[in-house]
Structure 1
Amino acid sequence: MEVARFEENGFEETTHIAESVSWDDLERYAASKAGGSSERHHSWRSHQHDSSRKDDESPGDLYELWRQEQNIIAARLDKELKSRWELDELIEEQLSRYQSHYFKSMVSTSLKDVSNLLMPTWIPPHELAAVSWLGDWRPTSILDLVRILAAQSPNFSLSEASERVLSQLTREIRIEEAVIDEEYAEIQATCVLHLPFSPLCNAQSREEALGSVQELFGNINKVISKAQRLRYKVLELVMKKLLNQTDTAEFVVAFAGIQDAIHQFGEQKKLKKQYPTVSFKGSGSSS
């Protein structure tokens, strides 16, 4: 019989083989001559063999094979779904932590704790200046982070509809920020009237003056609490309404990273202020 084969130079050559040679002998012969191409030929023969084997199998065997393949794919899909469920749980847990932080009473509004209401001693000054309302940290900064991620992160996707919602949300939140700013500015403008040396307090008894100051501190607490609730509102809208699951996870990581970086920076500045470094110049004799 005649068998066609391809040499390495790409030309076809016809070889005369005895009729008694089997197909296995031909495959081995081709493998010894064709080198790397034998692997592809063997792969093709294996595929053909698998196909012919399936044709030879009974319907029951084919059904069992189909069922096993179906279960393998289903198991992989189930694992993927569980990963997504775990991601959803982590996002909800992180959001609940923000809620407990922003909705809790900051500190007592008693007179002795009023300084901690405005400048908590447990926060480094640089961090306080960066993340407090008095330090110009606004909820719209959260929306700015979304825009930065959408512009710089290749894995962050923001649809045109989401961009329109983001623009509308920014306008609405800026209005609410302005209202809070006005409320706090009014407190700042009138707080001097409640101080002990003001003319109003001079005409009051000590108990009345303390009550007036206590009311002032209560108003400050209300405004700051209102600002904190607005921050949480924006976070919740971004994480649950604006972004998809993957983008929400990336946003949470970035948001936490920024706050931690600010904290670390504040701690470093605080340590340098407490323990300043002093450089000493050597005074050795020169020859």
Structure 2
Amino acid sequence: MAMARTPSQTTLILDKHKEEKQNEEESVNEEEESHEVVESFKCLTLLHKRDFIKRGEKLYGQWKQEQKLRASRMELHLSEEWALDKLIEEQLSRFDAHYSETMTQCTPKDVSQLLMPKHRLPLEMATLAWFGNWRPSAILILLYSLSRSLSGCLKLDARAYRVLVQMIRQTRIEEAVLDEEMAEVQATCILHLPFSPTKNSNNSRGKMACIHSEFKKIHRVITQAQKLRYKTLELVVKKLLSKAQASEFLVAFAGIQDMVHEYAACQKRQKGPVIVTIKPFGMSQVAQ
């Protein structure tokens, strides 16, 4: 038989239930406030990221428009040899500034932007990118293709052709050296850098120092790649081609870059499933 509760026991039980209910309400309120803070932080982060991407796209758009304008001016003055020197130097100086503008940046965020620029579309990166920009040997191969085209505007004599082939070989060797340096840095990052969290502040500072050291190595490789790009373009324009040919090539180079960017933008705008054609065991199939 259950014993009857005294008034004091009943009061204690009611107070306990009341306290538990208040704690539950406070917990719910704290959770709602936490969600609001997180959502606000996400919104601010997203807005900041969009602003950063828009600024990058705007700067790239301005540079591309300037490049197209200079190429158009050069094309108009192809018959006026006296005007070509200034236009060629102007175009080269702009390429030099474009390739060199990020060489002084060395924070981890800056390094990631150099490798994967926000203004370049995914297909554009997959097509031409080597450490964030054109592969130098691709510039030479473009000249090789144009020199063998039917238009004949960039025909090379036997000596120039031999020099071009030798430049392609030498440039590919230099690219391979930089690829090897980057591979060593990547291997170090994967195999040796400690990414697990730690409560020891001294140990944490040591880990961050190691990470920054590797990012500096990556930045050095990117800087060497940028210098190789400009050196390759400069050798083609100043040492291999005549003034008229150099102008024709710079106009074609600007046009190819613009064409690749526009094609990548067109592909991005298209909707629907990705279609890839495959041929297993000699049979043609289409996979969606």
**TM-score interval w.r.t. the shorter chain?**
0.5 to 0.7
**Per the alignment, in what secondary structure is the counterpart of residue 197 of structure 1?**
coil
* Corresponding residue of 2:257: 259
Aligned counterpart in structure 1 of residue 161 of structure 2, from 163, 172, 175: 163
Q: Distance in 1 between matches of 2:101 and 2:126?
A: 21
Per-residue deviation at 1:107? 7.8
**Per the alignment, in what secondary structure is the counterpart of residue 154 of structure 1?**
coil
Contact 2:117 / 2:132 at 8 angstroms: preserved in 1?
no
Q: Which amino acid is the alignment partner of residue 85 of structure 1?
A: W
Contact 1:109 / 1:218 at 8 angstroms: preserved in 2?
yes
Contact 2:134 / 2:229 at 8 angstroms: preserved in 1?
no
Residue 222, structure 1, aligned to residue 220, structure 2? yes
Q: Distance in 2 between matches of 1:259 and 1:277?
A: 26
* Corresponding residue of 1:85: 82
Q: Which amino acid is the alignment partner of residue 87 of structure 1?
A: L
Q: Distance in 2 between matches of 1:244 and 1:216?
A: 43
Residue 196, structure 1, aligned to residue 173, structure 2? no
Q: Distance in 2 between matches of 1:221 and 1:134?
A: 10
Q: Distance in 2 between matches of 1:99 and 1:113?
A: 19
Per-residue deviation at 1:208? 1.4
Aligned counterpart in structure 2 of residue 247 of structure 1, from 245, 260, 265: 245
Structure with the greater alpha carbon radius of gyration: 1
Q: Distance in 2 between matches of 1:108 and 1:90?
A: 30
Q: Distance in 2 between matches of 1:194 and 1:90?
A: 49
* Corresponding residue of 1:139: 136
Distance 1:242 1:113, change over 3 A: closer
Distance 1:218 1:81, change over 3 A: closer
Per-residue deviation at 1:269? 2.8
* Corresponding residue of 2:205: 207
* Corresponding residue of 1:118: 115
> Where do 5+ consecutive residues of structure 2 fail to align?
1-76, 274-288
Superposed CA offset, 1:62-121 (max 9, x none): xxxxxxxxxxxxxxxxxx999212122111111111111112225843234443232122
Contact 2:99 / 2:230 at 8 angstroms: preserved in 1?
yes
Superposed CA offset, 1:157-204 (max 9, x none): 3111111211222222121111111101111111122242299x9996
Superposed CA offset, 1:112-144 (max 9, x none): 444323212222111122232158952111111
Q: Which amino acid is the alignment partner of residue 131 of structure 1?
A: L
* Corresponding residue of 2:125: 128
User: How many residues end up aligned between the 2 structures?
Assistant: 195
Q: Which amino acid is the alignment partner of residue 193 of structure 2?
A: H
Contact 1:139 / 1:173 at 8 angstroms: preserved in 2?
yes
Identity %: 45
Contact 1:140 / 1:173 at 8 angstroms: preserved in 2?
yes
Q: Distance in 2 between matches of 1:271 and 1:110?
A: 33
Contact 2:182 / 2:221 at 8 angstroms: preserved in 1?
yes
Contact 1:107 / 1:113 at 8 angstroms: preserved in 2?
no
Superposed CA offset, 1:231-287 (max 9, x none): 111100000000001111111111111111111122223334xxx369xxxxxxxxx
Distance 1:128 1:204, change over 3 A: farther
TM-score by length of 1: 0.61
Per-residue deviation at 1:225? 1.4
| More deviation, 171-180/190-199 | 190-199
**Per the alignment, in what secondary structure is the counterpart of residue 194 of structure 1?**
coil
Q: Distance in 1 between matches of 2:272 and 2:175?
A: 41
Distance 1:271 1:108, change over 3 A: farther
Residue 237, structure 1, aligned to residue 230, structure 2? no
* Corresponding residue of 1:63: none
Distance 1:100 1:253, change over 3 A: same
Q: Distance in 2 between matches of 1:163 and 1:214?
A: 44
TM-score by length of 2: 0.60
**Per the alignment, in what secondary structure is the counterpart of residue 157 of structure 1?**
coil
Q: Distance in 1 between matches of 2:78 and 2:115?
A: 45
Q: Which amino acid is the alignment partner of residue 170 of structure 2?
A: E
| More deviation, 263-272/183-192 | 263-272
